[in-house]
Amino acid sequence: MRLLDQVPPSTPRQACAVPLTVKRTPSRTTFSNTLSTRKRRRVSIPSFDLEAELGIPVSTELAVEETDADRFVAFRSPSSIPLHTTPRTNRIAKSFGLLDDRVLTYAEGPTSPSETKLRSLLRRSVTELFNIPRSTSSVSAKANLGARKQFVMALDGPGISRDPFAFSMTWSRANCIGVAFRSDVYCQNLETREIVHLCRVLADDGPVHSIDWRDQPQSHILGLGTTSGKVRVWDALSLSLVADWSGDGSPVGGMHWNESVLAVGRKDGRVSLYDLRTPEEIREAKGHKRHVHGVKWSPDGKYLATGDHSGNVHIWDQRAANYLTIGDKKLLAKHNGPVKAISWSPWQGGLVATGGTFPDGAIQIFDVNKISTVSPPLVIGTYTNVTSLHWSSHCKELLSTHGSSWTKSQTLYDYPPSAKETPTTPFTNSMTVHSYPSCERIVSVVGHSAAIAHSCIGPDGCSIFTVSPAEETIKMFRVWAAPGSQAKDDEQGLARKNAIR
């Protein structure tokens, strides 16, 4: 029987002895707040010494000023109008213990020193957990050239051509260097330290302007060109003349081998191609109108990059016997100054870097495989003469050598500036390594007191020889390291192996 049936009819339901439970629906103002005063009283945090647990000594000056401000509610100044603006709101808030809560008052509560110390320790521990230092690769120039900024060996170079566009030094795959001194060419084997006088050109032939070693397997073959247009090939083992292509009277610019084919830049804008198997010129590429300084074959031998005195850069396709084009134009790149420095990437086919001298002073990086998409080049501005470029074989880094610098306001009429007006920048007379594709400067080392006119990279892809005609010195620097090599940072050991006695 239900309980209400036991009550006499005369007894009103309000006088029933059994109390009724009335469920009250809270108003909209009685919302739950997890940060209220009552709920804060229910939370108990066990006391422990976090400093001893983590083993982190904390000084008073390292404590971070903490705040109890709500992260979802903006902190308001004391002049702001609070939410409890009516007596009814104050009564409701007081009954639920929210009168002093920050949701209504927007004020910070007092923070004890122990709580501040605890939060500082927690914040420091989390910061150290996620702050993982970025390690430097042992292959990168930052870990090699940046750590040891001194040269490994130095040679005297009296009589080196002072022409800033001359290629007076080359380094063969057999670890032999060749250096041109006026009309003489000398060779030194860095393994045996033997120095050999290779040849001497006649006075009427003019000084030697460019030299270059052939690649393997005949890395002992050296080609040379003079300012009078003579082109000859010598054998460094037998000290004999292999070929003589002296029929052209146009002065020589840069030159570079592709197997048995030698490409030679000319002052009249032509690029002559010679083959050791034939006594005459096999082909010539026409497209430049000024002196061709930079000449460089791609590693696969498919493309030939050339740069002239006007700053024009062309890419010649050996397979099609014609220049690569962008639309109806045969011009790949345009610098505002003469282009001597050209380098192809050994790890990405079609990637080439070119550098300009005054008044350009910029490095441009292209991908010839994206010519049809008219992809804009990456540009590194230096406002310094870019005399040579070398890609690393072991990492995505590019080295550039530089001469004198200038300001943006200087023009052709006030260059070269006087010694007092010459600005000094991190690029001046330096070797600088850039990362790819970010183009960030990794390290700059001033290896000479004067301009670096030329440089060549070694067969290991790690070392660089730099030439400074004004200083009359040749220096070798270790820029990169081969992956997995256990090379020690011992300058004396390297000097004993390579020094001339």
| Arithmetic mean of pLDDT, 361-386 | 86
Residue 86 has pLDDT above 60, yes or no: yes
Q: How far apart are CA 354 and CA 245, in angstroms?
A: 29
In a domain, 437, yes or no: yes
Q: What angle do CA 491, 495, 499 make, to 5 degrees?
A: 160
Cα 490 versus chain centre, distance: 26
Of the candidates 166, 446, 179, 178, the one whose C-alpha atom is nearest the C-alpha of residue 293 is 166
Q: What is the band of 407 on the pLDDT scale with cuts at 50, 70, 90? A: confident
Lowest mean pLDDT among 8-22, 78-92, 265-279: 8-22
In a domain, 33, yes or no: no
In a domain, 207, yes or no: yes
184, two tokens = 């003489």
First-to-final CA distance of the chain: 121
Q: What is the band of 97 on the pLDDT scale with cuts at 50, 70, 90? A: low
Lowest mean pLDDT among 92-96, 208-212, 462-466: 92-96
Prediction pTM value: 0.72
In a domain, 193, yes or no: yes
More confident residue, 413 or 184: 184
| Arithmetic mean of pLDDT, 75-99 | 62
Q: How far apart are CA 501 and CA 242, in angstroms?
A: 31
Q: How far apart are CA 337 and CA 251, in angstroms?
A: 20
Q: What is the band of 35 on the pLDDT scale with cuts at 50, 70, 90? A: very low
For the chain, the domain total comes to 1
- Other beta carbons less than 10 A from residue 275's beta carbon: 16
The pLDDT value recorded for residue 32 is 46
In a domain, 168, yes or no: yes
130, two tokens = 């996620």
The pLDDT value recorded for residue 421 is 64
**Residue 285 belongs to what domain range?**
153-498
In a domain, 39, yes or no: no
Place of tokens 């024009």: 312
Q: How far apart are CA 252 and CA 228, in angstroms?
A: 7
| Arithmetic mean of pLDDT, 453-469 | 96
DSSP code of residue 124: H
CATH code of 266's domain: 2.130.10.10
Q: What is the band of 123 on the pLDDT scale with cuts at 50, 70, 90? A: confident
Using one digit for the tens of pLDDT, what is the confidence trace for 54-74?
555 554 444 444 455 555 555
According to DSSP, the residues that pair with 42 across neighbouring strands are none
In a domain, 77, yes or no: no
In a domain, 59, yes or no: no
